Chain A
Amino acid sequence: MYSQGLIGAKTDSGEDQAFLDAFQRRIDAEEKIEPNDPMPEGYRRTLIRQIGQHAHSEIVGMLPEGNWITRAPSLRRKAALLAKVQDEGGHGLYLYSAAETLGVSREQMTEELLSGKAKYSSIFNYPTLTWADIGAIGWLVDGAAIMNQIPLCRCSYGPYARAMIRVCKEESFHQRQGYEIMLTLCRGTDAQKEMAQDALNRWWWPSLMMFGPHDSDSQHGDQSMRWKIKRFTNDELRQQFVDATIPQAEFIGLTVPDPELKWNEERGHYDFGAIDWDEFWRVVKGGGPLNTERLEARQKAWDEGAWVREAALAHAEKRKLRREAARVAAE
């Protein structure tokens, strides 16, 4: 999911075989790699890209939900949603911090996001049209994210794994918050229940797409698995998500919009219908409902914040000079 952007990434780096083998032995022995350790350039590049994309997803992910903070239907919901969206910002921040240990700055990563060079999770290009979408995002999108993030807590790169541990600890309230919204709607009026079903209809397939292309179509999965940047394949995680989510939908009386969905006794898993990969690629490449608006919003915040950041730096410079002058005067 956060490796959607690795599509097309180069992972070969041209170090000699002995170096690569020695590195692989460390990985195989479950040793954590720390910032200054020698590492293959491909490993570093893959991580920068993946962590950067993960961070961007958190930041862009603030927008669809942020859209409803001012319209949340009760004070309790308003506070929870605000805290949740703030958390997403915090998670983006932890992740940028982790990427910065690899020698890339947050500014560089931000510029890559704004120029369209760096990707973010395709899901955030869909609109939040009703309050139920806030429930659906928490339940499905955060649910999918947790599936992906729990194994990342054991990722081979120490700072990424540590950031993920923190993220997972905090995220545990997000999915529950979303499910509780859905549950309340489903126990409410007909109009509320209809709203919940409509949100599930719209968010179900994009949520499955979050896990990325089928393993057979994913070029970089293998190397990332070997390096233990990834611990499960896209399809494994997607299946896990479907298996966990169906009973939750049934419990609140919602129907997953997939006529082919059925329990497969033999496999011990749910079978589900085909994902519309044309839609997936269209959204990844910029043609989703709100790709343009999401980047415009980030660009606007960045541009309009420039004078604030410059003022903070200018003031810091003045403080330093004044302190220096005071010190000289005191001597």
Chain B
Amino acid sequence: MEDRSALVTFLLRLADDHLILGHRLSEWCGHAPMLEEDLAMPNIALDLIGQARALYQYAGGVEGKGRSEDDLAYLRRERDYLNCLMVERPNGDFAHTMLRQFYFAAFMHPFWEKAMESQDAMLAGIAGKAVKEVAYHIRHCGEWVIRLGDGTEESTARMQAALTALAPYVDELFESDAVTAAMAEAGIAPSPASLRAPFEATVQSVFAEAFLDAPAAPWAKTGGRQGLHSEAMGFLLAELQYMQRSYPGANW
């Protein structure tokens, strides 16, 4: 039983990361810098929402309380969302959005790669699909990081600003606690710390091409995994949950 609740927590963290980031990215739809990006960003957002759905469904099943994907996505309180803080950051400009997406993809790719060999067949199945999707996210967002980093004076300045703004949020991705330890021990998911090296390799190769230096974060922000979020999160959830809260129990 102990294991089960750790697995549920672990799955919800992962699902929340994907839902919240997909939600943020979908805010761009119709407002992108060029029409081609109005197609590219929803493709990524749809991948993330699809991954979130698979994870919520599985989490609901493991939990065994009959909660559906929508119950989990829409009907928890703010303190119960377990996503990392990076994904809930407001979009900012295109540089900020692309860098955030790139960081997340660079983290998730080695995660899914290892999760394909998970002892948990369900997670391994989700990983097999997600790993391909996220490989493209790295490429697409990485190419933009390169173009904006090594573009015009303005774009370089904006990309540097994004680097500074996001730096405090990177470490939280690699945080370990009893839940991640239990997952690693059971061979369900890789330990976050083991993903740092492949993450850095991906990031460094793109930054080198973009002539960017990642600033060292003066401190790391944390709390998301315990449900301690930024102020932006409440507004995001107010929008996300508006319909479900206004019409309790209705079918859509």
With A307-B158, A310-B151 given, is the CB distance from A71 to B49 under 8 Å?
Answer: no
Q: Does B242 contact A (CB under 8 A)?
A: yes
B151 near A85 (CB under 8 angstroms)? no
A307 near B243 (CB under 8 angstroms)? no
A82 near B252 (CB under 8 angstroms)? no
B250 near A62 (CB under 8 angstroms)? no
Q: Give bound CA distance, A314 to B147, whole Å.
A: 8
* Contact pattern, B 3-32, Cβ under 8 Å of A = 1, otherwise 0: 000000000000000010001001101111
Q: Which residues of B contact A318 (CB under 8 A)?
A: 150
A86 near B250 (CB under 8 angstroms)? no
B34 near A308 (CB under 8 angstroms)? yes
Interface residues on A, range: 35 or more
A70 near B32 (CB under 8 angstroms)? no
Q: Does A274 contact B (CB under 8 A)?
A: no
Q: Give bound CA distance, A92 to B36, whole Å.
A: 10
B155 near A85 (CB under 8 angstroms)? no
Contacting residues of chain B (142-157) with chain A, CB-CB under 8 angstroms: 146-148, 150-152, 154-155
With A63-B30, A82-B42 given, is the CB distance from A73 to B252 under 8 Å?
Answer: yes
Q: Give bound CA distance, A74 to B19, whole Å.
A: 12
Q: Which residues of A contact B45 (CB under 8 A)?
A: 82
Q: How far is the CB of B199 from chain A (nearest CB, A)?
A: 24
Q: Does B206 contact A (CB under 8 A)?
A: no
B30 near A189 (CB under 8 angstroms)? no
For A181, give the chain B residue with the smallest CB separation: B252
The answer, among A70, A308, A315, for a CB contact under 8 Å with B27, is: A70
Q: Which residues of B contact A63 (CB under 8 A)?
A: 30
Number of interface residues of B (CB under 8 A): 48
Q: Does A192 contact B (CB under 8 A)?
A: yes
A79 near B46 (CB under 8 angstroms)? yes
B243 near A305 (CB under 8 angstroms)? no
Q: Give bound CA distance, A68 to B104, whole Å.
A: 25
* Contact pattern, A 246-258, Cβ under 8 Å of B = 1, otherwise 0: 0000000000000
Q: Which residues of A contact B39 (CB under 8 A)?
A: 86, 89-90, 93
Q: Does A184 contact B (CB under 8 A)?
A: yes
Q: Which residues of A contact B (CB under 8 A)?
A: 59, 62-63, 66, 69-79, 82-83, 85-86, 89-90, 92-93, 96, 106, 131, 181, 184, 187-189, 191-192, 297, 300-301, 304-312, 314-315, 318
10 chain-A/chain-B pairs, Cβ below 8 angstroms = A78-B26, A79-B53, A83-B46, A85-B42, A86-B43, A89-B38, A89-B42, A310-B154, A311-B148, A312-B151
Given A93-B36, A307-B154, 13 extra CB contacts under 8 A: A70-B239, A73-B244, A74-B70, A75-B19, A76-B53, A86-B29, A89-B38, A131-B243, A191-B247, A307-B152, A310-B151, A311-B155, A315-B150
